[in-house]
Structure 1
Amino acid sequence: MVESRLIQGRYRLLERIGRGGMGEVWRSRDESLGRQVAVKCLKPVGPQHDASFLRVLRERFRREARVAAALQHRGITVVHDFGEDGDTLFLVMELLTGRNLSQLLDDNRREPLPVTDIVEIAEQLTAALAYTHEQAVVHRDLKPANIVRTADGTVKICDFGIARLGDDIGFTARLTGTGMAMGTPHYMSPEQIGAGTVDHRSDLYSLGCVLYEITTGVPPFDLGDAWAVLIGHRDTAPEPPRDRRPDLPEAYERIVLDLLAKDPDDRPRDAAELGKRLADARRPQGGHPTGAAASTDGAPGADGPESAPTQRLPSWTRGMTGGSPANGARPAGSGPPGHGLDALDALTDAWTRGPATRGEASAPAGPAGGPRTTLAARHAAGLALGGQGRWAAAADVHRAVAAERARLLGPDHPDTLTSHFEEARALDRSGHPAAALTGYERVAAARTRSLGADHPDTLTARLETGHALGRLGRHFEAHQVCAAVLSGRTRALGPDHPDTLSCRHHLAFNLRRLGRLEDCHAMAREVAEARARVLGERHPETLRTRYEIAGVLGQLGRWEEALRGYREVADARAGTLGPDHPDTLAARYEVGIGLGRLGRSAEALALYRDLAAARTRVQGADDPETLRARHGLGVNLGRLGCWEEALAEANEVAAARGRVLGADHPDTLVSRREVAVALGWLGRWADALGGYRQVADARERVLGAAHPDALASRGDQAQCLEQLGRTAEAVALYRRVATLRQERAARR
């Protein structure tokens, strides 16, 4: 998208002022009415996204437009128009002049807002929510970054991008999946976390989180680990706001704590009831309206965060720095901007102009701004690009920022090394492990010099070096690096710190790549037990280790144990993440593999039917994982002797994989082989031979003639020739395969 582009012959895009999860926001001019507006455009989708992804994204954008345009209230951003212009979907909104609540807190150095401001904001937000809930609309992602206070003091809720129409729940479920799929951890209700029923009371809980933050300066569960934040929402009582802010009137503290009740039935019944309670709290007490006699300097009380009672979380979380709230506006350089309209400051054209050469000072600037602030914003922009999956663009941004930071701050300055690290990570994610390895090694060496060998940042860079070595197939070197990092983390952090356990997990499964399956199994069991003790039985990382253990058991031929392990992980993930979460579905797929290996094909068939339906519902019919589930369905149809059905399924999956993944993709070739297998069982050997030959030719072309998969396909071809009575050709092909195998073995 370029400057001065004209949308639908009417709206001229002048300047990009924000970028969020649903698209970009531009300051624009309505040429027909001569007024300034904000135009939100659907973010361009790269070729890596398939048609089903684009279809769902466009449908979600249209839904946002319809919902937002129907809402007419002083406390909600006005939508003037929406439509399509070529491939661009757009939404035309009023152009707001003001700051969102996260930015107001940042402007105030994360100190809480004055009580009088909190009261005013609470009352305006409550009135806006009362209206939207009356329209059967639930916002579902209320957070400081989505709430703007305009220049005249009006408070407006923005971005109904994942709002749910109460009369259209089924449609929204198809778009958003489970409750875990949408929302921001610091402001999610317990029912969103548990994928339970979400109604208007979930917005009231999120409002409680917002009010808690502007009252105390921090969210109710201000921990650095996202899982700990979610567990806090679900299981832990928040610290009373007056422990941090003694000047807050008791009536307001009671309201905030009631909004944060775990059970929706224990919260105010609706926003109308909340409005009455806020009005009662404002009534004069002792001759003064509540809030008027309170301090307005926004300072917290003497009992700050250090005096908070210990929460029911692992001991290693004490003292953990939480950073800025997820998806809110952040201090410069602390991370990517949020998904709403909070990117107005960070994502301007400043970071796209290249190195800071336009009149900037040559020395680092202080807190007021200058080149360091600009570079921090550009660094944040690079992180945001990575968050969107645009890794190649992210690498370019981090490379440019690293060069400029090296010039301003020095090559070994922590900020310079952070940029180099992020550049290497982006290269890694974009499929360049060799270049990433060079970058990681450079950062690890520099951090060793400046920070010490056992500093957490040094060890993180060294661990990523090990991962890159593994991706390059250099598993023995990767194992050595990982073992050294484990020793350093154990010394620096202790044996049960999550980072130490993460390293032990990687070390265990690198043993698997080295062929040491028994050693891998023994170490992985120790890691799983430690993670369960430290993080909890159902923590995602605990379940991840147990999932990998089941895979090793399968490789060892212990399929009964593997099946039991996969089932336990699938059940736990369904309870924690939701039945349609990708990790849950991945575990269910492996349950199907285990059932098939044990000859329980009827059970496997039923599982794959359900799994294919779930994948289609959540990810679309052409998603590779949906096609993988359908492939399993076809295989088990064949095992049960239903070869006509198996052939039809294999043909459809092969065609879809060819379209989505490419004709020579390994998964496409597996499906084409399955077509040939079905043809053979149906006695159509001539057709089967053509299929086997095409697969063998493709594998030989892509992998090489001596690759095990290519040799296996030539073996299939030879067997088919035998079935057709063409014995001499079959013998010649068998001899060729044997020769290639001998040559391969000799080279090894």
Structure 2
Amino acid sequence: MAESRLIHDRYRLEEVIGRGGMGEVWRAVDESLGRSVAVKCLKPVGPHHDASFSTVLRERFRREARVAAALQHRGVTVVHDFGEYEGVLFLVMELLDGRNLSQLLEENAHEPLPVDDVVEIAVQVADALAYTHERGIVHRDLKPANIVRLTDGTVKICDFGIARLGENIGTSSRLTGTGIAMGTPHYMSPEQIGGGHIDHRSDLYSLGCVLYEIATGVPPFDDEDAWAVLIGHRDTVPQPLRVHRPEIPEHVQQTVLDLLAKTPDGRPADARDLRLRMTGPRGLPAAPAPSAARPAAPAPLPAWGRRLTGGHHATATALRPVLPDHTAGLTGEWTTGTAVRPALAGQTVRRERPTPSPEALAVLAGRHSAGLSLGRLGRWEEAGEVHRAVAAEREHALGADHPDTLASRYEVAFTLSRTGRAEDALDGFRRVADGRERALGADHPDTLAARQETAYVLGLLGRHLEAHDRYTEVLTARERIVGPDHPDTLRCRHNLAFNLSRLGRLEDSFRMVCDVAEARARILGADHPDTLVTRYEVAYALGQLGRWTEALTAYREVAAARTRALGADHPDTLAARYEVGISLGRLGRAAEAVDLYTALIADRTRLSGPDDPETLRARHGLGVNLGRTGRWPEALEQARDISTRRARTLGPDHPDTLVSHREVAVALGWLARWPEALTVYTSVAGTRDRVLGPDHPDALASRNDEAHCLEQLGRHEEAVELYRRVAALRDRRAH
């Protein structure tokens, strides 16, 4: 496109006048009509997107461009034309002579605009929004950069429709690249952040953020960290504008604060209502504040919120039960419970527990959701900190056995299971299960979910027989209550099949997981994430049975299906590709595995960085297969670098670090550098003895490595003695 300045045989591009996440804006001339225009060129779709995705994007672009072109209002940028040229989507708009609000603030050294200007901008934007909202069109990305003030004082909104390209495609995370709802963090409404229903009042909230910024010089929630800003929108009452700027009229302050209400119902009813309220004493009286009380002093952004970061880190969590939202519709039975106070003169006196306010419960619900978001990002330590704090406050406000309190306790236990504290997690899940049984009943889905997590953690602890018993109990209850094909029942059967493989019952595991895969495909669809998780487990079972050719085919099918359903960059897709490499290596096709891992490492590095555990795992796979192809110097270099990085990020005693350390020794041995190999083998064996115990299978394997190395060095008596010690430890462990 850059080679030919004339596009569509009509629009001559002259200079770039703006760049953004969606593409470039050019000053251009419409040679057919002889007028200056602006041409917005969207970035081409990358090669990692499939053809169906490109088709959906183009169709959505055309639909949104038609919507934008149909808008005819002095406050909305006119769209003249749209189309596609050499694979690039473009939009032709009127060329605006002015500055957007972001530029105005920048040019004014981020000093606020005059109050009269703020009111005038608010009135004009309100008129434009009233026009578009009455036609059922919501902008979704209103921000200073999308509001332009022309040299004659006219204010126009830009990018109607185009801002919504990432919405409702079904693969929107591949457009945004972050997994965060479409929008700009400083101006997003709470319902946008939470993925809730979006209507015209979301635009009003975003406008409130814009007005707050141009009136005070700073956004209502200002932090370098995107997730901290998002949580501020959801949980924190903004400071009154007059704290920043005392001369702001009270009616302007109140109207902007009302626009920033956490719930849509607390905001002005529509944009026309907003226009009247902003004029205040000069027009109609300002509307009264919403009934929800505002604290006298604004609540600070929680300390844990300041450490949040943007980005997307998904894990294969399809097996995790989704708990219902208990925050809606709380009954007096729960909110007016009793509590015991110290007895007086031998009497037991009970007092009523104060009923918590809806606002307080909403804040706790928002913090609970923030904890869940941290978990989805893999920030389990911080998620646990949030859930523990919320659990304590919910217990104080609602009682120990209230469903909300137990939901928070459940999440605390879940974070413990994800941070290596399995014993603590087991105790937590057991307490939650007992509490839910008392409060909800033994057969309630939430009670069974907690029992099932108990079984999962027993498996983490290697207590597979106990886990088997718990899974069987839960499965029996689920089949009785909701039937054999209910998703919760199938989830339990999947977990039971996984546990059977850990008990060595490989054939039983394989049969059960095949049944679950068939049932999930029939009920949920062949490409549903849960179906693909089970098909992934089918492939794993085939590998365990030594049927690697079939396993390879199964893993490849899962990888292809996940690419279609989740996207090429989704962590679950990448995990399936990793297992394809394992299968290739097992089949002696190491050269193909090297090519696969090389590509996978590039993708992992691009998405998560060079030190991410999954990037390092892929590099480990590459190193192993470099060795299999006889490229031992390269394998040694890989192993040393991975070992160093894992020691720095995971710790020197982490199992993965020790695996990489051992791989260094393997490569040294193949290069006949046995004295160096012996030093490394001895170090790994000593660490495993200390961390795992001398009779742990991994520790015993390391001692065998050490003995083998002694043999290679001609130190046969020492090797024989070490082999005898290993045999004795194995025998003791077996008995």
- Name 2:257's counterpart in structure 1: none
Tell me whether 564-573 or 522-531 shows the greater mean CA deviation.
564-573
- Name 1:734's counterpart in structure 2: 723
Instruction: Find the aligned partners of 1:213 and 1:534 in 2 and give their Cα distance.
Output: 37
Instruction: Find the aligned partners of 2:376 and 2:156 in 1 and give their Cα distance.
Output: 32
* Residue 608 of structure 2 corresponds to residue 619 of structure 1: yes
Contact 1:596 1:636 in 2 (8 A): yes
* Residue 460 of structure 2 corresponds to residue 464 of structure 1: no
How far is 1:450 from its partner?
Answer: 3.3
- Name 1:505's counterpart in structure 2: 494
Alignment partner for residue 547 of structure 1, among 516, 529, 536? 536
TM-score by length of 1: 0.54
Alignment partner for residue 662 of structure 2, among 673, 677, 683? 673
How far is 1:620 from its partner?
Answer: 1.4
2:568 maps to amino acid = P
* Residue 430 of structure 2 corresponds to residue 441 of structure 1: yes
Instruction: Find the aligned partners of 1:125 and 1:666 in 2 and give their Cα distance.
Output: 50
2:642 maps to amino acid = V
Taking the TM superposition and a 5 Å limit, the aligned residue runs for 1:125-524 are 125=139, 178-179=174-175, 181-183=177-179, 210-211=198-199, 363-365=353-355, 369=358, 372=361, 375-376=364-365, 379-380=368-369, 382-383=371-372, 386=375, 389-392=378-381, 394-524=383-513
- Name 1:572's counterpart in structure 2: 561
Taking the TM superposition and a 5 Å limit, the aligned residue runs for 1:523-538 are 523-538=512-527
* Residue 624 of structure 2 corresponds to residue 610 of structure 1: no
How far is 1:480 from its partner?
Answer: 1.6
Q: Tell which structure's C-alpha radius of gyration is larger.
A: 2
TM-score by length of 2: 0.55
SS at match of 2:139: helix
How far is 1:213 from its partner?
Answer: 9.2
Contact 1:77 1:93 in 2 (8 A): no
How far is 1:677 from its partner?
Answer: 2.1
Aligned residues: 466
Which stretches in structure 2 are left out of the alignment for 5+ residues?
1-95, 116-128, 149-154, 167-171, 184-194, 204-321, 331-350
How far is 1:446 from its partner?
Answer: 3.0
Contact 2:102 2:144 in 1 (8 A): no
- Name 1:682's counterpart in structure 2: 671
How far is 1:362 from its partner?
Answer: 6.6
Contact 1:654 1:668 in 2 (8 A): yes
Instruction: Find the aligned partners of 2:164 and 2:421 in 1 and give their Cα distance.
Output: 35
Flag the 1:133–1:729 CA change in 2: closer, same or farther, 3 A. Answer: farther
Instruction: Find the aligned partners of 1:547 and 1:662 in 2 and give their Cα distance.
Output: 30
Contact 1:75 1:125 in 2 (8 A): no
1:556 maps to amino acid = L
SS at match of 2:718: helix
SS at match of 1:444: helix
Instruction: Find the aligned partners of 1:390 and 1:684 in 2 and give their Cα distance.
Output: 42
Contact 1:177 1:581 in 2 (8 A): no
Instruction: Find the aligned partners of 2:642 and 2:664 in 1 and give their Cα distance.
Output: 10
Alignment partner for residue 660 of structure 1, among 639, 645, 649? 649
Contact 1:424 1:440 in 2 (8 A): yes
1:388-424 per-residue CA deviation (whole Å, 9 max, x = no partner) reads 5554454455445445544554443333333333333
Flag the 1:321–1:545 CA change in 2: closer, same or farther, 3 A. Answer: closer
- Name 1:298's counterpart in structure 2: none
Identity among equivalent positions (%) equals 55
- Name 1:119's counterpart in structure 2: 133
How far is 1:72 from its partner?
Answer: 12
1:268-327 per-residue CA deviation (whole Å, 9 max, x = no partner) reads xxxxxxxxxxxxxxxxxxxxxxxxxxxxxxxxxxxxxxxxxxxxxxxxxxxx99979xxx
How far is 1:610 from its partner?
Answer: 1.6
1:322-365 per-residue CA deviation (whole Å, 9 max, x = no partner) reads 979xxxxx9799xxxxxxxxxxxxxxxxxxxxxxxxxxx97444
Instruction: Find the aligned partners of 1:411 and 1:479 in 2 and give their Cα distance.
Output: 30
Flag the 1:641–1:483 CA change in 2: closer, same or farther, 3 A. Answer: same
Instruction: Find the aligned partners of 1:494 and 1:76 in 2 and give their Cα distance.
Output: 58
Contact 1:605 1:637 in 2 (8 A): yes
Instruction: Find the aligned partners of 2:501 and 2:407 in 1 and give their Cα distance.
Output: 32
How far is 1:518 from its partner?
Answer: 0.7
* Residue 683 of structure 2 corresponds to residue 694 of structure 1: yes
Contact 2:510 2:538 in 1 (8 A): yes
* Residue 628 of structure 2 corresponds to residue 639 of structure 1: yes
